[in-house]
Amino acid sequence: MTIVDELQATIEQMIQPGKGILAADESLPTIAKRFAPVGVESTEENRRAYRTLLFTAPGIEKYIGAVILFEETLGQTRDDGTPLPEVLAQRGIVPGVKVDKGKGPLPFSPGDLITYGLDGLAERLQQYKKQGARFAKWREVYPITDHNPTPLAISANAEMLARYAALCQEQGIVPIVEPEVLMDGDHRLSRCAEVTEAVQKEIFHALYRHHVMLEYMILKPNMVLPGKEHPIKARPREVAEATVRVFRRTVPVAVPGINFLSGGLGPEDATAYLNAMNAEYPDAPWMLSFSFGRALQQPVLRAWRGKEQNAPAAQRALLKRARLNGAAQLGRYRAAMEKVD
């Protein structure tokens, strides 16, 4: 099998109608923040137990086509000794891994950020592939202020994403390219649209320069939204219209799938916004789906609370949110469905 054959097989399994991606790749500091409100200590065993609960939830393969893992999880096993990536693969779910090493300030560009982790990435990808990973994910972050992101930040972050994506494809691994324009702040929806458009244009210029094959990548962007502190909340139709307009201007039709991040949205809002895109624009040239972390897991953590006896209820909570988002991918979600377990 050639590298292109590998990439094609992975993409076909990841991009399916009614399915999306579960982001379960929280870093150690982030998972500790998720566990703290429900009274769970972030030990390796608790992380293993929680992620095993997610991956073994009955029926999730109907709505989840792939799962993004944290590096630690690639080496963990189910109670019977089965590696967790294999647990997913046995259910027809594609395992992948987050490969960036976190973010920090971009030098000489106050307020902007850059992500670390390119050094040694090719060798790490080879090891991850041996452990069962068939795709990878890299995130760049763009805070919005009156001055940020600067042209330097937009250019530097695009270059990082493109270099990462090229390294992945060279190894036969599908790259998820994740540029997140943050919701933090009180900016208007129009400002988010302006920044998102500039970011996406620069990213695709960089991907072209680095010879990334667009047919064998997935874009994981933010939706176009007003800032969290903005006094007026956008309606689903407004979000759908603004988001699709920006992506029609910037994302080539060769890209097979756009799997949106939830970025701090509540579960119901994330689902409603995704549904509006698919209901209003059923002929969009890409499959519009989800790659949610918190918006899928928040109800699960509340149900679980670190107690083994709560695992079935937690798995039902995951299945419900996965099912509702699967319906949203098809444009068939209705708010009344939230009341049905």
Q: Please check the confidence at residue 332 and state whether its pLDDT lies above 90.
A: yes
pLDDT at 340 over 90: no
β-pairing, 174-181 vs 135-142, is parallel
Say if residues 291 and 67 touch (Cβ distance below 8 Å).
Answer: no
Position 174 scores a pLDDT of 98
253 CB-near residues (< 8 Å, 6+ apart): 285, 286
Sequence-ordered list of residues with C-beta below 8 angstroms from that of 185, at least 6 positions apart, any chain: 143, 144, 145, 227, 228, 229, 230
Is the pLDDT at 82 greater than 90? The verdict is: yes
Burial bucket for residue 5 (CB in 10 Å: 0-12, 13-18, 19+):
exposed
Banded model confidence at residue 1, pLDDT cuts 50, 70, 90: confident
Which domains occur in the chain, in start order?
Answer: 3-339 (3.20.20.70)
Q: How confident is the model at residue 65 (pLDDT cuts 50, 70, 90)?
A: very high
Each residue of 152-198: pLDDT tens digit? 999 999 999 999 999 999 999 999 999 999 999 999 999 999 999 99
Tell me the average pLDDT across 130-136.
Answer: 98
Active site (annotated) includes residue 103: no
- How is residue 335 written in tokens? 């708010």
Is 220 catalytic? The answer is: yes
- SS3 assignment, position 93: coil
pLDDT at 275 over 90: yes
Q: Band the pLDDT of 297: cuts 50, 70, 90.
A: very high
Segment among 56-60, 90-94, 230-234, 314-318 with least mean pLDDT: 230-234
Q: Using CB atoms within 10 A of its CB, is residue 143 exposed (0-12), middle (13-18) or buried (19+)?
A: middle
DSSP H or E segment with residue 47: helix 44-55
Q: How far apart are CA 201 and CA 5, in angstroms?
A: 28
The arithmetic mean of pLDDT across residues 71-79, rounded, is 97
206 with 162: CB under 8 angstroms?
Answer: yes
pLDDT digits (tens, 9 = 90+) for 87-109: 999 999 999 999 999 999 999 99
Selecting among 178, 180, 202, 241, the annotated active-site residue is: 178
1 DSSP 8-state letter: -
- The mean pLDDT of 249-256, rounded to a whole number, is 98
pLDDT at 341 over 90: no
Could you give the percent of the chain with pLDDT greater than 90?
A: 99
The mean of the pLDDT values for the chain is 97
Exactly one of 98, 137, 220, 320 is catalytic; name it: 220
Q: How far apart are CA 256 and CA 273, in angstroms?
A: 20
